């Protein structure tokens, strides 16, 4: 079954969607569905087949058969990579529709989901190139006696569990390396953002991958996700989502000794010194928290501003906040859209109340009256914040920036590190020695000096502390997660072998 969109007088109709198992779109064994709601109107967009344990079992069996008996496991690498590049081309062809579906489903502004679709295609091309040129082993000669060499083998069936905040990009960020290295996949997308995962299934179906190589089971974390994590035939779980969910998944995967990769929450600091390029730092700080509706794992939710520039910086922040274009996610000029669902909206609103109770001055724009049906939280500044407040320690995951004043470099580093998370960090200064020093001292997996979060697919992506275990991206994905090294020892001559039991 295909998703079709009829685009008449702004009335969008998206067909109901199914699971994708063993090369077929299917309603699921339980025949139950759940309703997928629009963040913009809170009305039902469409109904989603709800996959459960029995559907995960069917999908894992299909993926296992495809790996062990189907053509995928024995296919020449070059041939496999033709499929991967074909998927990239099809994503490019369907980029408009992907962006539209993503915006309808998540509330992310269309100007931002368009970039995500382009990046998703590049994820496939990038991993096709990586596998072709970099996925080779090493050899270790031992005198004239041995040559020991390594080869990198796919794991088999891998389970991919993804969140709703940048669904298509994050799904392809996992699916591309998993398939390019020769694994087969069961994807469990977030229940709140199923549309583009279904689109990916359609694209992969169109690319004509052998049945069972790629499967999508929609459904809830506690049922479908849990069954995938506990399934003995799933060799690894790559997860992106909340820290508490990651911890549950690690526990639940222990009995079946799975390899896991964890990309979790964040509360990233952005530190601006008084010698920084003020205007560029302002642009970066505003973009870093208000793009993606603030639902960005690497968002600079804590901004530390040097005492000497704080008043001016806050004044400019206020101007920006009032000017951010809040609007319909499908309007190309919209900069901030509605949050994913009412529960999350209420959580973010609650944190703004907590900030008031903790003594912050809350400065906000106003949501236009005509948007009130949506889950809109206006761009929000929490001024006069201190790092020990709950709103500076807990992940809010919305368009909410805490502004904290500092005086010395040591004080800024200490406060930046005084948090359970360690995903990203940003340092703004024109003194490069200081920039490097602070970047080295901040406890995070990824630091940017004088830049917003600009991605480089080759780098290891991920966090320390409660932000994750392991890395994605570049050679980390293909060597350290989606393949396993195997060593082959070859005797080159007649080296000594002890002769136990031989009569002298
Ligand atoms: P979530 O943890 O609620 O859900 C993520 C996925 O896990 C969903 O598919 C969900 O169905 C599934 N799930 C839930 N419980 C499960 C269980 N017991 N077993 C198996 N699967 C289960 O996260 P979310 O609310 O969708 O996403 C937002 C979070 O993701 C934020 O904390 C954000 O920081 C984080 N995130 C991190 C990164 C990163 O790279 N570090 C990137 C994006 C988002």
| pLDDT tens-digit readout, 296-311 | 999 999 999 999 999 9
Give the Å distance between the CA of 122 and the centre of ligand 1: 23
Q: How does DSSP assign 393-452, residue by residue?
A: HS---SSEEEEEEE-SHHHHHHHHHSSSEESEEEEE-S-HHHHHHHHHHS-SSEEEESS-
Please state the rounded mean pLDDT for residues 60-69.
Answer: 98
Atom of ligand 1 nearest to the CA of 229: 20
d(CA 476, CA 286): 31
d(CA 228, CA 75): 26
pLDDT one-digit tens code per residue, 196-252: 999 999 999 999 999 999 999 999 999 999 999 999 999 999 999 999 999 999 999
Confidence at 9, pLDDT banded by 50, 70, 90 = very low
pLDDT one-digit tens code per residue, 10-41: 457 899 999 999 999 999 999 999 999 999 99
Q: Is 295 in the pocket of ligand 1 (CB under 6 A)?
A: no
Residues 6+ apart with CB under 8 A from 31: none
d(CA 70, CA 23): 12
Beta bridge partner(s), residue 306: 406
- pLDDT averaged over the chain? 96
In the chain, where the domains are located: 17-264+467-488, 269-449
pLDDT, residue 7, reads 44
Question: Which DSSP state fits 478?
Answer: I
Confidence at 4, pLDDT banded by 50, 70, 90 = low
Residue nearest to atom 19 of ligand 1 (CA): 226
Is 6 a residue whose pLDDT tops 90?
Answer: no
pLDDT one-digit tens code per residue, 365-423: 999 999 999 999 999 999 999 999 999 999 999 999 999 999 999 999 999 999 999 99
Structure tokens at 160: 């991919």
Atom of ligand 1 nearest to the CA of 263: 41
Is 474 a residue whose pLDDT tops 70?
Answer: yes
Nearest Cα to Cα of residue 104 among 185, 153, 47, 41:
41
- For the chain, give the percent of residues with pLDDT over 70: 98
pLDDT one-digit tens code per residue, 212-228: 999 999 999 999 999 99
d(CA 92, CA 120): 9
Query: Do 294 and 399 touch, CB atoms closer than 8 A?
Result: yes
Structure tokens at 130: 């990586």
pLDDT, residue 11, reads 57
Instruction: Residue 148: count other Cβ atoms within 10 Å of its Cβ.
Output: 13
Atom of ligand 1 nearest to the CA of 395: 32
Which residues are marked as active site? 263
Q: What CATH number was assigned to the domain covering residues 269-449?
A: 3.40.309.10
Give the Å distance between the CA of 187 and the centre of ligand 1: 13
Residue 201's alpha-carbon distances to 185, 213, 298, 361, 503, in angstroms, are: 11, 11, 28, 47, 66
Q: Is 50 in the pocket of ligand 1 (CB under 6 A)?
A: no
Give the Å distance between the CA of 193 and the centre of ligand 1: 12
* Strand pairing category for 234-240 and 302-306: unpaired
pLDDT one-digit tens code per residue, 71-100: 999 999 999 999 999 999 999 999 999 999
Is 169 a residue whose pLDDT tops 50?
Answer: yes
Atom of ligand 1 nearest to the CA of 190: 9
Residue nearest to atom 26 of ligand 1 (CA): 163
Grouping H, G, I as helix, E, B as strand and the rest as coil, residue 66 is helix
User: Of all helices (H) and strands (E), which one includes residue 142?
Assistant: strand 139-142
Is 8 a residue whose pLDDT tops 80?
Answer: no
Residue nearest to atom 28 of ligand 1 (CA): 241
Query: Do 322 and 291 touch, CB atoms closer than 8 A?
Result: no
Lowest mean pLDDT among 98-102, 183-187, 472-476: 472-476
pLDDT one-digit tens code per residue, 425-468: 999 999 999 999 999 999 999 999 999 999 999 999 999 999 99
Give the Å distance between the CA of 246 and the centre of ligand 1: 7
Q: How does DSSP assign 67-130, residue by residue?
A: HHTSHHHH--HHHHHHHHHHHHHHHHHTHHHHHHHHHHHH---HHHHHHHHHHHHHHHHHHHHH
Query: Do 149 and 488 touch, CB atoms closer than 8 A?
Result: yes
Q: Is 190 in the pocket of ligand 1 (CB under 6 A)?
A: yes
Pocket test for ligand 1, best of 228, 245, 421 (most atoms within 8 A of CB): 245
pLDDT, residue 1, reads 46
Domain 17-264+467-488 fold is Aldehyde Dehydrogenase; Chain A, domain 1 (3.40.605)
Predicted TM-score (pTM) of the model is: 0.97
Residue nearest to atom 13 of ligand 1 (CA): 221
Nearest Cα to Cα of residue 429 among 304, 344, 334, 325:
304
Is 2 a residue whose pLDDT tops 80?
Answer: no
d(CA 451, CA 181): 32
Q: Is 263 in the pocket of ligand 1 (CB under 6 A)?
A: yes
Confidence at 5, pLDDT banded by 50, 70, 90 = low
pLDDT one-digit tens code per residue, 329-381: 999 999 999 999 999 999 999 999 999 999 999 999 999 999 999 999 999 99
Is 49 a residue whose pLDDT tops 70?
Answer: yes
Atom of ligand 1 nearest to the CA of 220: 11
Please state the rounded mean pLDDT for residues 59-69.
Answer: 98
Nearest Cα to Cα of residue 154 among 488, 484, 473, 479:
484
pLDDT, residue 504, reads 84
Beta bridge partner(s), residue 269: 302
Instruction: Residue 78: count other Cβ atoms within 10 Å of its Cβ.
Output: 8
Q: Is 387 in the pocket of ligand 1 (CB under 6 A)?
A: no
């Amino acid at each position: 079954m295909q998703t079709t969109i009829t685009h008449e007088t702004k009335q969008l109709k998206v067909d109901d969607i199914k699971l994708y198992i063993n090369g077929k779109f299917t309603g699921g064994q339980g025949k139950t569905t759940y309703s997928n709601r629009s963040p913009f109107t809170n009305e039902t967009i469409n109904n989603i087949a709800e996959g459960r344990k029995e559907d995960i079992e069917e999908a894992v069996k299909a993926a296992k058969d495809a790996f062990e008996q189907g053509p995928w496991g024995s296919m020449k690498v070059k041939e496999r990579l033709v499929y991967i590049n074909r998927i990239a081309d099809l994503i490019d062809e369907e980029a408009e529709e992907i962006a539209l579906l993503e915006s309808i489903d998540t509330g992310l502004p269309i100007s931002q989901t368009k970039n995500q679709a382009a990046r998703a295609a590049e994820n496939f091309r990038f991993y096709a190139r990586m596998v072709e040129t970099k996925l080779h082993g090493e050899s270790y000669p031992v005198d004239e006696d041995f040559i020991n060499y390594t080869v990198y083998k796919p794991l088999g069936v891998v389970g991919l569990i993804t969140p709703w905040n940048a669904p298509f990009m994050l799904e392809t960020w996992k699916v591309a390396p998993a398939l390019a290295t020769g694994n087969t996949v069961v994807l469990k997308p977030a229940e709140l953002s199923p549309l583009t995962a279904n689109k990916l299934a359609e694209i992969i179906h169109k690319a004509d991958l052998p049945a069972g190589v790629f499967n999508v089971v929609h459904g809830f974390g506690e049922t479908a996700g849990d069954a995938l994590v506990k399934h003995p035939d799933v060799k690894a779980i790559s997860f992106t989502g909340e820290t508490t969910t990651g911890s549950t998944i690690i526990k639940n995967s222990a009995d079946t000794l799975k390899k896991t990769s964890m990309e979790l929450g964040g509360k990233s600091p952005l530190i601006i010194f008084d010698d920084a390029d003020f205007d560029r730092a302002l642009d970066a700080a505003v973009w870093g928290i208000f793009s993606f509706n603030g639902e960005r794992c690497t968002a600079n939710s804590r901004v530390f501003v040097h005492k000497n520039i704080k008043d001016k910086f806050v004044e400019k922040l206020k101007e920006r906040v009032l000017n951010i274009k809040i609007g319909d996610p499908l309007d190309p000029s919209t900069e901030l859209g509605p949050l994913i669902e009412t529960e999350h909206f209420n959580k973010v609103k609650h944190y703004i109340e907590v900030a008031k109770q903790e003594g912050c001055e809350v400065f906000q724009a106003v949501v236009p009256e005509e948007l009130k049906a949506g889950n809109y939280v206006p761009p929000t500044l929490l001024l006069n914040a201190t790092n020990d407040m709950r709103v500076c320690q807990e992940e809010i995951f919305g368009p909410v920036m805490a502004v904290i004043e500092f005086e010395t470099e040591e004080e800024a580093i200490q406060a930046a590190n005084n948090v359970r998370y360690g995903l990203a960090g940003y340092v703004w200064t024109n003194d490069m020695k200081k920039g490097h020093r602070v970047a080295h001292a901040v406890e995070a997996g990824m630091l940017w000096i004088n830049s917003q979060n600009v991605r480089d697919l080759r780098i290891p992506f991920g966090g320390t502390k409660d932000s994750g275990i392991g890395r994605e991206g570049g050679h980390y994905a293909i060597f350290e997660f989606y393949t396993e090294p195997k060593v082959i020892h070859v005797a080159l001559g007649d080296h000594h072998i002890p002769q136990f039991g031989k009569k002298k």
